[in-house]
């Protein structure tokens, strides 16, 4: 399918602008630019939004709990935001968390994990796993069902969601009902993980390399199972839904992860959204497929956490 015309216009506008790409900017400027993309967007109403704090050893990280309806005990989605590990926040992903809460009927806990370059790998996956464990330990206080928990993430957050599922399996952590990986980064071997034929379709290889250089202290870190799930032992992971976009340089590696999950016995669903670009799910005002994708995620979650 051809590239969606709105996506084409976005890419053309970006190419014609005088704003440098993220990897050519100081990280704080890149972060501010990322946040401005989502400022002022229309968001769905939910029953409640609560700001909370999770202790991760000696540090504390903010989390935000969304509830689609008042009262009662709800299943929980732990949501891990994208943004190349260095960017993104509770604010940038506020809209998608609200939409998933309403569509799935689950409470959603969005996690503000510590970011590189200030906090190197494995800080981010450990923060995300700590938030999962904290939520289960405080299930009664949060009015969530500790037996019906999912983890969801987009892009870098999809990578972190896979890492959390692996950590939960390996460290005897909470049992997960399912995971949803939205156009995830699956490997840091860019010869496999980045499709050069789609260079410049939102992402650039040099930009991904910039994120890698910030995220890892040593090249060996990038080979960890909790960094590159494509090369990990995936057996025993929960039911998985992988979403990919047709015009995404990370898409082929996402498809490779689907094949590997299935080959290792993990019940895995996949949908490619034709004509779409990396990041499309956060723009329902621009792409009808963003709303479709949220509906697909909601339906998958409902089936696996029991809200259907």
Percent residues over pLDDT 70 in the chain: 99
Residue 128 has pLDDT above 70, yes or no: yes
Q: What is the mean pLDDT of the chain?
A: 96
Set 93, 126, 211, 278: catalytic member: 278
Phi-psi region of 306 (alpha: psi -120 to 50; beta: other; left: phi over 0): left
Residue 19 has pLDDT above 90, yes or no: no
Active-site residue 155, yes or no? Answer: yes
Q: pLDDT tens, 211-224?
A: 999 999 999 999 99
Per-domain boundaries in the chain: 5-305
Strand ranges of the sheet holding 178-182, from the earlier edge strand across to the other edge: 48-56, 59-67, 107-111, 74-80, 144-154, 178-182, 239-247, 268-277
Residue 240 has pLDDT above 60, yes or no: yes
How confident is residue 58, by pLDDT bands cut at 50, 70 and 90?
A: confident
Long-range contacts of 204-210 (CB under 8 A, 24+ apart): 204/21, 204/23, 205/249, 206/21, 206/23, 207/21, 207/22, 207/23, 207/84, 208/84, 208/249, 209/23, 210/22, 210/23, 210/84
Q: pLDDT tens, 139-148?
A: 999 999 999 9
Cβ neighbours of residue 211 closer than 8 Å, sequence gap 6 or more = 23, 84, 85, 86, 116, 156
Set 94, 127, 145, 248: catalytic member: 248
Set 22, 89, 110, 155: catalytic member: 155
- Least confident residue range of 11-20, 126-135, 164-173, 275-284: 11-20
Please give the CATH topology (third level) of the domain spanning 5-305.
Answer: Rossmann fold (3.40.50)
Residue 247, strand partner residues: 277
Active-site residue 104, yes or no? Answer: no
pTM over 0.85: yes
Active-site residue 140, yes or no? Answer: no
């Amino acid at each position: 399918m051809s590239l969606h015309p709105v996506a084409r216009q976005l890419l053309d506008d970006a190419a014609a602008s005088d704003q440098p790409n993220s990897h050519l900017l100081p990280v704080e400027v890149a972060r501010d630019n990322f946040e401005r993309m989502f400022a002022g967007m229309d968001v769905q109403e939910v029953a409640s939004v609560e700001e909370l704090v999770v202790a991760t050893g000696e540090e504390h990280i903010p989390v935000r709990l969304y509830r689609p309806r008042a009262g009662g005990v709800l299943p929980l989605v732990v949501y891990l935001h994208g943004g190349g590990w260095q960017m993104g926040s509770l604010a940038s992903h506020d809209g998608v968390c609200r939409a998933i809460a309403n569509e799935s009927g689950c409470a959603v806990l969005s996690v503000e994990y510590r970011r590189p370059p200030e906090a190197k790998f494995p800080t981010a996956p450990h923060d995300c796993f700590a938030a999962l464990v904290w939520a289960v330990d405080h299930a009664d206080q949060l009015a969530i069902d500790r037996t019906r928990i999912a983890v969801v993430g987009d892009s870098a957050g999809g990578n972190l969601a896979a890492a959390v599922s692996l950590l939960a399996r390996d460290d005897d952590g909470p049992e997960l009902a399912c995971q949803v990986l939205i156009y995830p980064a699956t490997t840091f071997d860019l010869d496999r993980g980045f499709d050069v034929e789609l260079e410049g379709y939102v992402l650039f290889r040099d930009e991904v390399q910039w994120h890698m250089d910030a995220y890892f202290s040593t090249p060996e870190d990038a080979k960890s199972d909790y960094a590159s799930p494509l090369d990990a032992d995936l057996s025993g992971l929960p039911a998985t839904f992988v979403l990919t976009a047709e015009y995404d340089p990370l898409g082929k590696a996402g498809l490779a992860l689907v094949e590997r999950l299935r080959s290792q016995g993990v019940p895995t669903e996949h949908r490619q959204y034709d004509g779409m670009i990396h990041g499309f799910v956060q723009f329902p005002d621009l792409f009808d497929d963003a709303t479709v994708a949220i509906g697909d995620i909601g339906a998958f979650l409902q089936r696996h956490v029991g809200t259907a």
